[in-house]
Amino acid sequence: MDATTAKKRAKELQTILNQYNYEYHVLDNPSVPDSEYDMRLKELIGIEEQYPELKTPDSPTVRVGGAVLDAFQKVEHRTPMLSLANAFSEEDLLDFDRRVRQGIGDSFSYMCELKIDGLAVSLLYEEGLFTRGATRGDGYVGEDITANLKTIKSIPLKINKPLTFEVRGEAYMPKKSFNDLNAIRAENNEEAFANPRNAAAGSLRQLDPRIAAKRNLSVFLYSLADLGGTGVVTQSEGLDLLDDLGFKTNKERRTCADIHEVIEYVKGWTEKRPDLPYEIDGIVIKVNSLDQQEELGYTAKSPRWAIAYKFPAEEVVTKLLDIELSVGRTGVITPTAILSPVKVAGTTVSRASLHNEDLIREKDIKLYDYVVVKKAGDIIPEVVNVLVDRRTDEQQEFKMPTHCPACGSELVRLEEEVALRCINPKCPAQIREGLIHFVSRNAMNIDGMGEKVITQLFGENLIHDVADIYQLKHEQLIELERMGEKSVQKLLAAIEASKANSLERLLFGLGIRHVGSKAAKTLAQQFGSMDALAKAGMEELTAINEIGDKMADSVVTFFEQEEVGELLQELKNAGVNMEYKGPKPVSAEESDSIFAGKTVVLTGKLEILTRNEAKEKLEALGANVAGSVSKKTNLVIAGADAGSKLAKAQELGVEVWDEEKLVQELNK
């Protein structure tokens, strides 16, 4: 076949195969048998191997999986992928409805959608071509899994309009794919996946896309990150638009006139849930109007206009074999029930939380009892109650220890606390947990030094406190199991990079009691350096709005310890930064900036600054950066592809700037 003929035939085959994919994986209505598809795909692969220049980014051959990746790159989401607040009962739904009515009145409707039990993903299209896919991650930063997502045949590699936008949805493994996969794993003497959600997540985080290609995943898309410029004014119209563009959406959705219709929809799917060919773990309820969504706005963690109803947890009976005690980072002794393995909500459970001694007494839990277990919110296993009528002479009273199971120190119960606590600062279990916390993502974020590596280093006596992390040498690490040359170099580079972190990360990593990541940033901003904070007294600390007496006392007590001073000096000697590097917020009264006291909204894609950089710079000049446009908004910064927020600003007569003007003002 000559080049001209090959080019024409390749184009024909790509068009035909993409249509077959759409019919089979989106419409669930195949027009040809699998053998016909396979034959044409094989022909296209042959042509593209002979003429590599004919392989386009949207060729169906992309879906078979490509080269093995070294690692996943980080991706910052243009618009945060926030999680939803949960509802577990009819009363919770009625409370949600009451809050919505307080915010926008009585004239609105709801859109109800099945909550697919999978992995949230974000897909970026540029000029109609799928260019990047990412996981949700922490909501702000995810991982680039484009190569794996391209293997999902229900994701169009090219849509029927040359649009640039971001679409979001849930990648999942159908029940049939899950059962087929576990059957293959059983034949190969491999451990079975616990449930389709874990299998889907594990498949999409494979560095070899060919593995993901074999797992037969699918996807349901449920939103465009910004619907501006499309003429869409409701969630239901947005889903219809996704259908028109060739995406796969869930057809079981329904618009409900009021909360009572929502509750009927929820009840119906609670019963019909087992009949679906995929797993769902609840119902997502959204205010349908996009303008009303903007009006309701967001909390720090979730939108006020949506909620996820979680199905009642499945309850099963099993035997409690033992109660295991663990020592946390702050010395709290936590009992955990060791159970005879049992399947609950699709996963095999052998452990369940017992929280504390008071709960064990309150529920009258004894060793070798038969207990009812459920997964709260389909996530955390817990013991609901004991089946007293099944007791025999076998049961035994459980007594909490008087001494720490890790170090032998006497346990204490502090005033107004239900938990027993080990207060020995040299307790090895606390030290290990503290080290794990220190290197975690929100603290010093040392990539490659997770729980297993910390446990290994601690067990080999290579680290005893956080300062020891910065003394690790190549020759020590290369001797450890599962530590090759590449891993060692990456880990040492990550340790070195963490020295430059801003003060708030170090403060949070040190694990000062009652000081979370937000309080750590507040303290770092206020005092500027570790030395200044260490000298602060109760009066200085409690003068800060967000710092109460309990937290202030904890901070003062922490820095009074001689061991803390020695530890900080070791960290300084190792080159760990002790200064706050971010912008220091000022009040509107203190700032002479034009942004002082103004409410600013950022929308669209920023090209010069990241969204977080712009937010930090504005807050440093006394601005309040909000997530939605309202009558209280003073200024909107509109980047590329700005949508409904820009339209709302124009409707309300709010002043609008482009990014270039923002940067000019920030540079003054």
**What pLDDT score does 662 carry?**
92
**What pLDDT score does 379 carry?**
60
Looking at residue 158, the DSSP 8-state letter turns out to be: B
Which homologous superfamily does the CATH classification assign to the domain defined by 86-310? DNA ligase/mRNA capping enzyme (3.30.470.30)
Distance from C-alpha of 475 to C-alpha of 46, rounded to nearest angstrom: 49
Rounded percentage of the chain residues whose pLDDT exceeds 70: 95
Q: What is the pLDDT of residues 291-303, one digit of tens each?
A: 899 889 887 678 8
Rounded percentage of the chain residues whose pLDDT exceeds 90: 43
Q: Where in the chain is the domain with CATH 3.40.50.10190?
A: 599-666
Given a cut of 70, is residue 83 above it in pLDDT?
Answer: yes
Q: What is the pLDDT of residues 213-264, one digit of tens each?
A: 888 999 999 998 765 567 788 999 999 999 999 999 999 999 999 999 999 9
Q: Where in the chain is the domain with CATH 1.10.150.20?
A: 428-498, 503-573
**What pLDDT score does 331 carry?**
87
Calculate mean pLDDT across residues 355-374. 90
Given a cut of 80, is residue 34 above it in pLDDT?
Answer: no
Given a cut of 80, is residue 380 above it in pLDDT?
Answer: no
In sequence order, the 6+-apart residues with CB closer than 8 A to the CB of 386 are: 363, 364, 365, 366, 369, 370, 371, 372
Given a cut of 70, is residue 590 above it in pLDDT?
Answer: no
Q: What is the pLDDT of residues 391-413, one digit of tens each?
A: 999 999 999 899 999 898 888 88
Looking at residue 409, the DSSP 8-state letter turns out to be: P
The answer to whether the CB of 224 falls within 8 A of the CB of 167 is yes
**What pLDDT score does 301 carry?**
73
Collapsing DSSP to helix, strand or coil, 207 comes out as: coil
**What pLDDT score does 354 carry?**
87
Q: What is the pLDDT of residues 499-550, one digit of tens each?
A: 999 999 999 999 898 888 878 988 998 899 999 999 999 999 988 867 888 8
Buried residues in 630-640 as b, exposed as e (16+ CB within 10 A): beebebbbbbe
Fold observed for domain 428-498: DNA polymerase; domain 1 (1.10.150)
Q: What is the pLDDT of residues 299-335, one digit of tens each?
A: 767 889 999 998 877 788 999 999 999 998 888 899 9
Confidence class for position 68, pLDDT limits 50, 70, 90: low
Which homologous superfamily does the CATH classification assign to the domain defined by 503-573? 5' to 3' exonuclease, C-terminal subdomain (1.10.150.20)
**What pLDDT score does 75 carry?**
86
Q: What is the pLDDT of residues 154-177, one digit of tens each?
A: 999 999 888 888 999 999 999 999
Calculate mean pLDDT across residues 266-287. 92
Fold observed for domain 315-390: OB fold (Dihydrolipoamide Acetyltransferase, E2P) (2.40.50)
Given a cut of 60, is residue 119 above it in pLDDT?
Answer: yes
102 or 357, higher pLDDT: 102
Calculate mean pLDDT across residues 21-44. 79
Given a cut of 90, is residue 347 above it in pLDDT?
Answer: no
Please tell me the CATH code under which domain 3-64 is placed: 1.10.287.610
DSSP lists the bridge partners of residue 166 as: 124
In sequence order, the 6+-apart residues with CB closer than 8 A to the CB of 156 are: 18, 22, 26, 130, 245, 246, 247
223 or 30, higher pLDDT: 223
Distance from C-alpha of 382 to C-alpha of 376, rounded to nearest angstrom: 7
Written as six digits, the tokens of 64 are: 């078979």
Average pLDDT of the chain is 87
579 or 58, higher pLDDT: 579
**What pLDDT score does 163 carry?**
86
CA trace torsion 258, 260, 266, 270 (10° rounding): -170
Q: Where in the chain is the domain with CATH 3.30.470.30?
A: 86-310
**What pLDDT score does 186 carry?**
81
Taking CA 326 as the corner, what is the angle to CA 325 and CA 332, rounded to the nearest 5 degrees?
105
Given a cut of 60, is residue 377 above it in pLDDT?
Answer: no
Q: In this structure, how many other beta carbons lie within 10 angstroms of the beta carbon of residue 424?
A: 19
Calculate mean pLDDT across residues 459-484. 91
**What pLDDT score does 66 carry?**
61
Q: Which CATH class is domain 599-666?
A: alpha beta
DSSP lists the bridge partners of residue 478 as: none
Distance from C-alpha of 69 to C-alpha of 209, rounded to nearest angstrom: 8
Pairing outcome for strands 315-327 and 370-376: antiparallel
Written as six digits, the tokens of 321 are: 């074999």
147 or 315, higher pLDDT: 147
Q: Any idea which residues carry the catalytic annotation?
A: 115
Q: What is the pLDDT of residues 185-199, one digit of tens each?
A: 888 777 777 778 888
Given a cut of 70, is residue 378 above it in pLDDT?
Answer: no
Q: What is the pLDDT of residues 600-647, one digit of tens each?
A: 998 887 888 887 788 878 877 888 787 778 888 999 998 877 777 888
CA trace torsion 4, 8, 13, 19 (10° rounding): 160
